[in-house]
Amino acid sequence: MQSGQDNKTHISFVELSALLASIFERHGTSPEVAAILANNCASAQRDGSDSHGTFRIPGYVSTLASGWVDGKAVPEVKDSAPGFIAVDAKNGFAQPALAAAHALLLEKARTNGIALLAIHNSHHFAALWPDVEPFARDGLVALSFVNSMACVVPHGGKQALFGTNPIAFAAPREGHDPLVFDLATSAIANGDVQIAAREGRQLPEGYGVDRNGQPTCDAKAILDGGALLPFGGYKGSALSMMVELLAAALTGGNFSFDFDWSGYPGAQTPWTGQLLIVIDPSKGAGNNFAQRCEILVRQMQAAGQPRQPGDRRYRQRAQSERDGIAIAAEELARLRALAGQP
Amino acid sequence: MQSGQDNKTHISFVELSALLASIFERHGTSPEVAAILANNCASAQRDGSDSHGTFRIPGYVSTLASGWVDGKAVPEVKDSAPGFIAVDAKNGFAQPALAAAHALLLEKARTNGIALLAIHNSHHFAALWPDVEPFARDGLVALSFVNSMACVVPHGGKQALFGTNPIAFAAPREGHDPLVFDLATSAIANGDVQIAAREGRQLPEGYGVDRNGQPTCDAKAILDGGALLPFGGYKGSALSMMVELLAAALTGGNFSFDFDWSGYPGAQTPWTGQLLIVIDPSKGAGNNFAQRCEILVRQMQAAGQPRQPGDRRYRQRAQSERDGIAIAAEELARLRALAGQP
């Protein structure tokens, strides 16, 4: 269905997902990996993510072409302890590694009350919220941490060391979609700096440094050998450090500064690790966690907070489910070309 | 030993801890609770914490006198699942509840790879780092969350709802003291606002709101019916919300806005909950976690970060161990009077 304004087209989730799977498979993934990545990416597009939807497809294709990532990797799941699963993603993507351990992780969380999934040797090039939301839909609480590639200067430092290192959290909410947040521990996303540079806009203070490690509001100076700053000063920096330790050191994965992709021109996916912690709140003293969560949200609304984490995504998701997923006609044509479709 | 400058006296850890234990016991705690709280408070004083050392003693005494907290409570430990311990602190302090479950938590973390301690019906009036540091000294990774009392406005809101809601993290570091941080998710501590108000200083933007929920840099306006803001805008606010959910909803404890102490004049200790997550990194693929942690710290130093989380505490601790714990002579006299000592 072609809509007049903005040259936007609408496509169903199933159709977009199938199209993206064709692209992945045509560019070197196994059918299994293609299906998982396509579902992940189509979900982001459905939910209105400009940065993690189909916008990412050229990056996936370019990385696969470079040989940097193994699109056919079969993750190896190791049941390390009653509450601990370690997965070697075998230089493949993180999402198939999570999928391979998902059922075991659920079972362990329910049996033990808490369980951990440590993924290493993995590439994460997507949003983090799709990894945690499903656990909250099953009544569990999930936390995830993933490190990426050196582009954030530790607080008070001069050189990039940390990745944008997001933290995602999901909790069930009685009678509503889960409460989910997914926040980078950097002050701003790299993509937003690029947009500001293109538009010649100054950034607010505290977002980045230039190539000499000096604070700057000039987006071009940040991109030209500079780096981002953590959000919230030394506190965000401490949290970013924690993400490096949990997602890389604890899993056996690379730190954000560990890997060298200079021999793989076109590579864009960080080769690091990911940690998930899943908790069964029914083991707690209250045993009414989703109700308490809902009470907190109502109090946040009563305190005047205009929007809860995840609200915008769910609104866009509902609209996409009603009208189809909005996508620029040119973008859809480019995707079809990448899939080899006429 | 009396030092000339600043009218400071020095006291040994053992002596200070015994003095504080006398105060606690004289004002209504059991000997067991007195020993735990005294050790905690003396540790903070030893490590140079102005806000969580002996400065807190009058608040403890006043709260005990009000009948708000049970200083003789015996925590009830429930082994809920292989990785999940629930403790009812029985309206006592959180530290004795943690102490009661400590050995079981260690054992469960080592056996299962990860374990959780959910404390509810508890009062936490201390720093959070003393709760996590010991686990890192045992080679484990620990995370803790505690909520407090409504004094922080959710991002975009107008009324206080969240507590200062700190997050603490500890990880072992090969050949060094553990890497430990303890950060409030509020932009500033309440005590620092009081000091600014007393000195007539303006605060930076983004720290608080006045009684109408409007942003203000006036410390007096924040204290006069206003509230604090979360650190780092919507991201800090999301983390503060997460602390409410983990420390209160998941444990069965009160939210920061749940309790009403108006019938207990003098009460100062928030009656909430606390969550600890302890991970055994030896179950991970790397099995060299403390080494990796040390590598990260060296890279942070090489990137120009002047100080690592915890550095200042350890420096002060070493000095206190060498010279005794510094304390103002008047403060020591007040403590002795509270202990009923001549």
Candidate from B118, B281, B303 with C-beta closest to A250: B281
- DSSP assignment of A39-68: HHHHHHHHTT-TTTSGGGHHHHHHHHHHTS
Helix (H, G, I), strand (E, B) or coil at A2: strand
Identify whether the C-beta of residue B20 lies closer than 8 Å to the C-beta of residue B335: yes
Q: Residue A261: left if φ>0, alpha if ψ -120 to 50, beta else—which one?
A: alpha
The chain A residue lying nearest B279, using CA atoms, is A116
Those residues with Cβ within 8 angstroms of residue B194's Cβ, 6 or more apart along the chain or in another chain: B219, B223
Q: Which amino acid is at B112?
A: N
Q: Which CATH number fits domain B1-66+310-342: 2.60.120.10, 1.10.1530.10, 3.50.50.60, 3.40.718.10?
A: 1.10.1530.10
Identify whether the C-beta of residue A176 lies closer than 8 Å to the C-beta of residue A187: no
Q: Between chains, do A245 and B292 touch, taking CB under 8 Å as contact?
A: yes
Q: Between chains, do B113 and A169 touch, taking CB under 8 Å as contact?
A: no
CA distance B147 to A64: 45
Q: Between chains, do B255 and A295 touch, taking CB under 8 Å as contact?
A: yes
pLDDT along chain B (342 residues), means of 10: 66 98 98 98 95 94 98 98 98 98 98 98 97 98 97 94 97 97 93 87 92 93 94 97 98 97 97 98 89 97 92 97 96 97 85
Catalytic site residue B52? Answer: yes
pLDDT digits (tens, 9 = 90+) for A284-319: 877 799 999 999 999 999 999 989 899 999 999 999
Q: How do the domains of chain B map onto residue ranges?
A: 1-66+310-342, 73-186+230-309
Identify whether the C-beta of residue A170 lies closer than 8 Å to the C-beta of residue A129: yes
CA distance A15 to A319: 16
pLDDT digits (tens, 9 = 90+) for B191-220: 788 889 988 999 998 999 999 999 999 999
CA distance B319 to B299: 27
CA distance A118 to B126: 32
Q: Which CATH number fits domain A75-186+230-307: 3.30.1370.60, 3.40.50.300, 3.90.400.10, 3.90.1200.10?
A: 3.30.1370.60
Q: Between chains, do B236 and A235 touch, taking CB under 8 Å as contact?
A: yes
Q: Which residues of B touch A281 (CB under 8 A)?
A: 249-250
Give me the residue label for tokens 């590598």.
B295
Task: Tell me if chain A has a CB within 8 Å of the CB of B178.
Answer: no
Candidate from B179, B250, B300 with C-beta closest to A279: B250
Give contacts of A 282-341 with B, CB under 8 A: 283-287, 289, 292-293, 295-296, 299-300, 302-307, 309
Instruction: Report chain A's terminal Cα–Cα distance, integer Å.
Output: 18
How far is the CA of A213 from the CAs of A165, A175, A186, A200, A218, in angstroms? Answer: 20, 48, 16, 21, 13
Candidate from A116, A161, A299 with C-beta closest to B161: A299
Known catalytic residues of A are: 51-52, 192
Identify whether the C-beta of residue B323 lies closer than 8 Å to the C-beta of residue B10: yes
Residue B301: DSSP 8-state: H
Task: Tell me if chain B has a CB within 8 Å of the CB of A10.
Answer: no
- DSSP assignment of B90-118: EEEEHHHHHHHHHHHHHHHHHHHSEEEEE
Catalytic site residue B120? Answer: no
CA distance A283 to B83: 10
The chain B residue lying nearest A117, using CA atoms, is B284
Helix ranges restricted to H, B71-211: 94-112, 129-137, 190-199
| A143: its two tokens | 């936390």
Task: Tell me if chain A has a CB within 8 Å of the CB of B255.
Answer: yes
How far is the CA of A122 from the CAs of A70, A92, A189, in angstroms? Answer: 10, 5, 21
Task: Tell me if chain A has a CB within 8 Å of the CB of B126.
Answer: no
Candidate from A86, A280, A304 with C-beta closest to B157: A304
Longest dimension (CA), chain A: 59
| B150: its two tokens | 């409504």
Q: Which amino acid is at B157?
A: G
CA of A188 to nearest chain B CA: how many angstroms apart? Answer: 11
ipTM for the whole complex: 0.96
Number of other residues whose CB lies within 10 A of the CB of residue A10: 17
pLDDT digits (tens, 9 = 90+) for B234-289: 999 999 999 999 999 999 999 999 999 999 999 999 999 999 999 999 998 777 99
pLDDT digits (tens, 9 = 90+) for A141-191: 999 999 999 999 999 999 999 999 999 999 999 999 999 999 999 999 887
Identify whether the C-beta of residue B40 lies closer than 8 Å to the C-beta of residue B322: no
Among positive and negative, which fits the CA dihedral A96, A100, A105, A107?
positive
CA distance B88 to B162: 22
Identify whether the C-beta of residue A174 lies closer than 8 Å to the C-beta of residue A142: no
Q: Which residues of A touch B304 (CB under 8 A)?
A: 153-154, 156-159, 213
CATH code 3.30.1370.60 for B73-186+230-309: yes
Q: Between chains, do A111 and B251 touch, taking CB under 8 Å as contact?
A: no
pLDDT digits (tens, 9 = 90+) for B217-240: 999 999 999 999 999 999 999 999
Candidate from B112, B120, B257 with C-beta closest to A83: B112
